[in-house]
Amino acid sequence: MTHSDDPEIAALWAALEQTDPDLRRIAVLQAVDLAQDDPGPFIAASRDDHPDVRLEAVRALEGEGDRLVVLALIDRLEDSNSDVAAAAAESLAEILDPQATPPMLERLGEAQGQAKAAILGGLRKLCAPGALTPAIAALDDPLPSVRRAAVGVLAYLRNDAAVPALSVRVFDDDVADIRRAAVGGLSYSSAPQAVVALLQGLRDEDWQVREEAAVVLAKLRASDAEDGLIAALDDGYWQVRLKAAVALGLLRSRRAVPALIAALSHPIANLRREAVNALAAIGDPQAREALAHLAQDGDVEVRKAVARALAALEPVL
């Protein structure tokens, strides 16, 4: 083993020569703070015969950008232990070294389970364009964590070629969290297929998916979504109604005015405030009387919003 003038590093090298793998693992854990000063022992430990030792060594190398560290972690992508391979991918992702992209892409085709999800997570952080096709393929993986990671890659790459695959996830995935992520992943595209999928999201059985769909439609200023957003003002969850109100205000939807006026009587103050803001943005004078009734609302933020709205709706003389 290599020796060091640093007594702590020298002690770690000595500990790594012990025959008991649990003692070697504990030595790596106890010395983890030394990785930034001298990654050598941790690189050596990443090739240990025992997977538990390799796992802790690979985790210790997270964020260390030394070239030898990167090469060692790339080597561990092929580890026979999936936990070690996954940890190597996660550590590489933290380093953000472009030289890690090709081997991660190469390994992705053979990886399984959490290792595959971790590699996808690393490729997301690296914003690797070459990950587009394999990430689309990974959307059909049986493991939810892999599908979720694939959605993350596609959301970062912002490529319209991913819209059909993401749209399918919105419609068909049996995990609500993945449907929600796919909805969020469509926030870069105003393609007709994306808007159709987002409108489907507004009708999802999970309220958080519906809420996310309203948020994305607001970002996209999707005029084709006006009817769906007006319908969402009757959603059973006030959080969805609130986001729909915001979206309709951004769309300047005059057809939404009656539904927004009805929302002014909702018991949740945040929703009343956003309905007021939306009516102010739309600027329809027919809302003035309903807004005036809220001038003495019990919530101070609602009263402030009403004052601004009424000032904006004052007729120009």
List the one residue out of 269, 262, 264, 274 whose CA is nearest residue 298: 269
Of 30-39, 44-53, 300-309, the least confident: 30-39
Q: With 50 as the cut, is the pLDDT of residue 317 above it?
A: no
User: How far is the C-alpha of 305 from the C-alpha of 196, rounded, in Å?
Assistant: 33
Quickly state the pLDDT bin for 316 (edges 50, 70, 90).
very low
Cα distances (angstroms) measured from residue 89 to each of 59, 155, 166? 10, 19, 24
Q: What percent of the chain has pLDDT above 90? A: 85
* Contacts of 284 by beta carbon, 8 Å cutoff, 6+ apart: 254, 257
62 φψ region: left (φ > 0), alpha (ψ -120 to 50), beta (else): beta
Quickly state the pLDDT bin for 315 (edges 50, 70, 90).
low
List the one residue out of 160, 234, 233 whose CA is nearest residue 197: 160
User: How far is the C-alpha of 232 from the C-alpha of 214, rounded, in Å?
Assistant: 8
Q: Please give the average per-residue pLDDT across 189-218, as a whole number.
A: 95
Predicted confidence (pLDDT) per residue in 70-96, tens digit = 999 999 999 999 999 999 999 988 888
List the one residue out of 226, 235, 285, 236 whose CA is nearest residue 261: 285
Q: With 90 as the cut, is the pLDDT of residue 290 above it?
A: yes
Angle at alpha carbon of residue 35, lines to 153 and 29, rounded to 5°: 90
Instruction: Evaluate whether 155 touches 125 at the Cβ level (below 8 Å).
Output: no
User: How far is the C-alpha of 71 from the C-alpha of 146, rounded, in Å?
Assistant: 25
Query: Half-sphere exposure (CA, 13 Å, Cβ side) for 80?
Result: 5
List the one residue out of 263, 196, 261, 202 whose CA is nearest residue 228: 202
- Of 97 and 76, more confident: 76
Q: With 90 as the cut, is the pLDDT of residue 109 above it?
A: no
Q: What is the largest CA-CA distance in the chain?
A: 90
User: How far is the C-alpha of 86 from the C-alpha of 143, rounded, in Å?
Assistant: 14
Helix 176-185 vs helix 192-202: angle between axes, to the nearest 10 degrees? Answer: 140
- Of 95 and 12, more confident: 12
Cα dihedral sign, 260-265-271-274: positive
The answer to whether the pTM exceeds 0.85 is: no
Q: With 70 as the cut, is the pLDDT of residue 2 above it?
A: no
Three-class DSSP category at 20: coil
Instruction: Evaluate whether 211 touches 177 at the Cβ level (below 8 Å).
Output: no
Domain 252-317 is classified in which CATH homologous superfamily? Leucine-rich Repeat Variant (1.25.10.10)
Quickly state the pLDDT bin for 44 (edges 50, 70, 90).
very high
Cα dihedral sign, 160-166-171-177: negative
Considering the chain, what is the average pLDDT of its residues? 93
Instruction: Evaluate whether 285 touches 315 at the Cβ level (below 8 Å).
Output: yes
* Contacts of 86 by beta carbon, 8 Å cutoff, 6+ apart: 113, 114, 115, 117, 118, 119
Q: What percent of the chain has pLDDT above 70? A: 97
Q: With 80 as the cut, is the pLDDT of residue 217 above it?
A: yes
Q: Please give the average per-residue pLDDT across 227-248, as a whole number.
A: 97
Predicted confidence (pLDDT) per residue in 125-162, tens digit = 988 999 999 999 999 999 999 999 999 999 999 999 99
Buried b (16+ CB within 10 A) or exposed e, 64-82: bebeebbebbbebbebeeb
Q: Where are the domains of the chain?
A: 252-317
Query: Half-sphere exposure (CA, 13 Å, Cβ side) for 229?
Result: 35
